[in-house]
Amino acid sequence: MSFHATVLTLYRDMFPGPLGHALAGRALSEGRWALDAVDIRSFATDRHRTVDGTPAGGGPGMVMRPDVLAAAIDGSGGAGPRLLMSPRGVPFDQAMATRLAEGPGVTLVCGRFEGVDQRVIEARGLTEVSIGDYVLAGGEVAAFAILDAIVRLLPGVMGNNQSAAEESFSDGLLEHPQYTRPALFEGREIPAVLTSGDHGRVAAWRAAEREALTAARRPDLLAPVRRGRAAD
Ligand code: SAH
């Protein structure tokens, strides 16, 4: 059974979009994962196919109706955890991507307007997940980001499994700088250690660079790594 992604959206035509290209697109056509984009509006029951309403208590914008969204969730038959794309949610990270990639699939609910009625979040046990501290116009871009991060971790998707083990966040640190040809670019050389052929020195240089870069840019990531080392 391949990984099964279900996306509930008012804009089904946006999918697979970027996920139909490159690594994720190839994996999709190879059947390593499957994608169902479900049109929430097709679950509306009134003549105008209404999916939203004005906010109770007043205020600007519109709110997605709980009954239509609940019917879409119930009718979609999605696998795995149900996540609601939401700026109020738990921050999405590499650990969550890894955990989800190990499961049967995921169901992603994309909000629009001012968001969704609180009662459907509770009634359908949706977990709110955020891709960062900024407000998007809709959950679709968040769903792309989350699926992109998951799909590249699925078995057989990345050619070289080492890349997953060595990149940013895999050991809690940011990745070391990378270089390739040409040897000289606008007067800048590749650090000599990388062309020395000494694998031990290369590994040590990269580890030191990861540590220094993380300390400079994301000290918040470094603290838990150092605590973990101290506990070993
Ligand atoms: N009024 C809401 C924002 C609604 S934005 C608030 O202040 O919290 C419309 C939709 O975009 C949301 O329902 C959500 O599905 C999506 N969205 C916006 N920002 C997001 C983020 N940072 N992460 C994930 N989804 C987001």
Q: Does domain 3-151 have CATH number 1.20.140.150?
A: no
Q: Could you give the CA distance from residue 147 to residue 213 in angstroms, rounded to a whole number?
A: 27
Q: Specify the pTM.
A: 0.95
181 Cα to the center of ligand 1, angstroms: 42
Q: Which of 43, 2, 11 is nearest to 157 (CA)?
A: 2
Q: Which CATH superfamily is domain 167-231 in?
A: tRNA(m1g37)methyltransferase, domain 2 (1.10.1270.20)
With tokens 């169901």, the residue in question is: 107
- Residue ranges of the domains in the chain? 3-151, 167-231
pLDDT digit of tens for each residue in the chain (232 aa)? Answer: 799 999 999 999 999 999 999 999 999 999 999 999 999 999 999 999 999 999 999 999 999 999 999 999 999 989 899 999 999 999 999 999 999 999 999 999 999 999 999 999 999 999 999 999 999 999 999 999 999 999 999 999 997 666 777 788 878 999 999 999 999 999 999 999 999 999 999 999 999 999 999 999 999 999 888 888 888 8
86 Cα to the center of ligand 1, angstroms: 4
193 Cα to the center of ligand 1, angstroms: 46
Pocket probe for ligand 1: among 7, 62, 86, 118, the residue whose CB has the most ligand atoms within 8 Å is 86
Ligand 1 lining (C-beta closer than 6 Å):
85-88, 110-112, 114-115, 130-132, 134-136, 138-139, 142
Q: Could you give the CA distance from residue 202 to residue 1 in angstroms, rounded to a whole number?
A: 40
88 Cα to the center of ligand 1, angstroms: 8
